[in-house]
Structure formats: C-alpha cells, structure tokens
Amino acid sequence: MTPSPDVPVAGLARVTALVIRRLETFPIQIQVVVEGTVPDSCTTIERIENNRQGGSFRITLHTLRAAGVACLEAEQPFTETIDLDVLGLTAGIYTVQVNGVGGTFTLQEDNLPDQSNAVVSGRVWHDLCAVSGGEGGEPATASFGCVTRGDGSFVANGHLEAGEPGLGGVVVNLGAGSCPAVGLGTTITDEGGLYLFSGLRGGTYCVSIDIENVANASLLIPGEWSNTAGSGRGEMSVTIDPAENKDDVHFGWDYQFLPAAENAVGDCVDDVSFTADITIPDDTVIEAGGTFTKTWELLNSGSCTWGTGYSVVFFGGEQMGGPDIRPLEQLVEPGETMELSVVLVAPTEPGEYRSEWKLRNANGVLFGIGVDEDDPFWVQIVVE
C-alpha cells in the first residue's frame, strides 16, 4: 500500500474492450458496455462525457485519484454501461469511440418515436328531456335537461350529465381529415355507450354517426343530435397530438315523442308513494342562509326496480342550492322503501319557500306521487 498524493489527480481510463448492444425495444435503444482498468485502488471513474456529432459518438471516461489515502498499487478493472442517444436517428451506420477504442452499429430503420398510439374515444348517450302537458291549453312542463327553442318547444340541452344513460350498439365511423370523412374504420358502442379508436397518428380526424345506417336507424330514429351539427349524421372534427388520449368526443341523442306521462320501462311500470318526512316536516323554521338536509321516505309502489340509472331531479319551486340531478345510490325493489336525501341552503330573505322534486327513470321519464304519478314531493320551510 502506498499513500496517494496530497491533491487529487485527474486522468483518463484505459479502455480494453467495448461491446455495442441493441435492446429489444421500440423506439430502439443502444447501449455501450465498456471494459477497462484504472491504475490503482484510489482511482475511480469520475465522469463520463457522451457527445455526438453527425454519425459519430465520442465518449470520454475521466478518472480521479483521491488525495491523502492509502492505495493498492495494482490496476483495477471496471465495467461501465453507457446509453447512447439514438432517438430520432435515421437508418445508417454509426461509429463509437471510447477513449480511443472504436466500434460501429447499424440502424436498419429510422428510429423515430412511435407516432401511432393516439386515442379518440367518447360516449354516445341519451340526452334526457321529457315534456308533459301542453294539451287543451295547458302549458307544457319540461324536465331538467331541457332547453327552449326559438319557437317555444323544448329540446335536450346537449350536456352529458350524471345519470344520463349510454346507448349501446351504435355504429361509429372514423375518417381522415375534417368532416365529412369516413373510411378509416368503424366501431360499435358498448352497453354503456362507450366507443374507442386507438393506434392513431397525430392529425385531424372525423368521428361521425350516420343515422341512416340500418343498425343505427333501428336504435335512434325518431330523434336528433343534441350537441353536434350535420344533416342526418352527427359528426365532429377532432385534432390530436401524437400519443394524445382525447376521451371527450361525446354524441348526445335526443329521442322525440317521449312524454313524461309515459312511465313504462320495458314490461314494468314506475310508481312512487310518499310515506313520511324523516327530517324537516312542512313549515319547519330554518335560519336565513342555513344549510339543512331534507330526507323523505319513499315507497317503490310500481313494478320496476330502481337502480343507479334512476335519479332524483329538481322539478320546481325554489331550488335552494340543491342539485339539478342526483343519481340514486342503491337498489330499491318493488314494495321496498328508501330514504332519499338532498342537502339544501335556505334563502337569505324571510318568507315561506317550497322546493319540488320528482324521480326520473333510465329512459328519462319523470314520475312522481299521486293518482296519476305526476305530482312532485316537496320540502316546505319558513325562513325568519
């Protein structure tokens, strides 16, 4: 053992061999495995310079001998694995020099990033809007989710909201470039209305749904698109970057001739009965601006099972900060009762206030209490 100098000593490693290897990945990765020696046990590889100019990589292994320690005066072997920056290189032959020892490798193809992993996806959904009344001079009443046309009629609002069901089995088209365009591929929505096109390069695409397609016509007609433009075909032009996942290309369908009085869902009928006020009976005094929870006990007096496709919706009166729509969070079989709650905020001005609510089934049909299943259940408070 001999002492090292009083100051560190810099130098270069002696390279005895190098191996260039290609990893089984894409994009391609190239590594250089370098073997060599340093002069004694006090000398280590201090830093590695890795530079590329054109088709040549020049790598320098710098050493540093520590100061003021005892050293074993014998050469010490080392192995270093060095990654080469080969992303973006075109096909060709490249050279590598490591401390004067050389080698070559060949790229048989351009080593460009994968440009075919972008995704376009979305949901085709039933944009719910149910209308009741409007006969015999009676004013029409629309459910939450409707907006008024210029002629005074109602149409779905074009927004995908909680509790609105997806439409399965719809054929969706993909085309290259801005709409109208088809021909790149088709897919079919799953039972939740979801569709997906993957393996796409960055660029502009047309996603469209042709209602004249035989399969689509049987599922959708009569109705109209609520959130897209186009005559007979819902369509959207979408521009995506390489590797982008664009998952909000949704299509809303507004079925026509769906009156709120029609409660049938399949072979069952929806009906609800009010049984009790669990909290906040009528004319409870609430502090101005105070938050409270109203809970009703309701009986499923129909023959349909209420599930997560069902919702409670604000129907009329004073909303008091309550939700427009809130999906039910449990299954309620026919003959069972449930406790249904909404969190509300009392108005700030004194007075008597009433907030009216109904249930809505998975087809967007509103139903309530009473002989005709058309009356809302409510909460009524007094603010002092």
Instruction: Give pLDDT tens digits along the chain (384 positions).
Output: 566 567 899 999 999 999 999 988 778 999 999 999 999 999 999 999 999 999 999 999 999 998 888 888 899 999 999 999 998 899 999 999 999 999 999 999 888 776 778 999 999 998 888 776 655 556 667 777 888 877 777 888 888 887 788 888 899 999 999 999 999 999 999 888 999 999 898 899 999 999 888 888 878 888 889 887 544 569 999 999 988 999 999 999 988 754 433 444 456 888 999 999 999 999 999 999 999 999 999 999 999 888 867 888 888 899 999 888 888 878 899 999 999 999 999 999 999 999 999 998 877 788 899 877 778 999 999 998
Q: Which pairing describes strands 146-148 and 154-156: parallel, antiparallel, or unpaired?
A: antiparallel
Q: CATH: 3.40.190.10, 3.40.1160.10, 3.40.50.720, 2.60.40.10. Which one for 264-383?
A: 2.60.40.10
Q: What is the CATH number of domain 118-255?
A: 2.60.40.10
Residue 112, C-beta contacts closer than 8 angstroms, at least 6 positions apart = 27, 87, 88
Give the model confidence (pLDDT) of 70-127 as tens digits: 888 899 999 999 999 998 899 999 999 999 999 999 999 888 776 778 999 999 998 8
CA distance 282 to 280: 6
220 and 253 in contact (C-beta within 8 Å)? yes
- The answer for 317, left when phi > 0, alpha when psi is -120 to 50, beta otherwise, is left
Residues 122-161: tens digit of each pLDDT: 999 988 887 766 555 566 677 778 888 777 778 888 888 8
Angle at 85 between CA 64 and CA 30, to 5 degrees: 95
Burial of 259 (0-12, 13-18, 19+ CB in 10 A): middle
pTM: 0.50
Structure tokens of 191? 């039972």
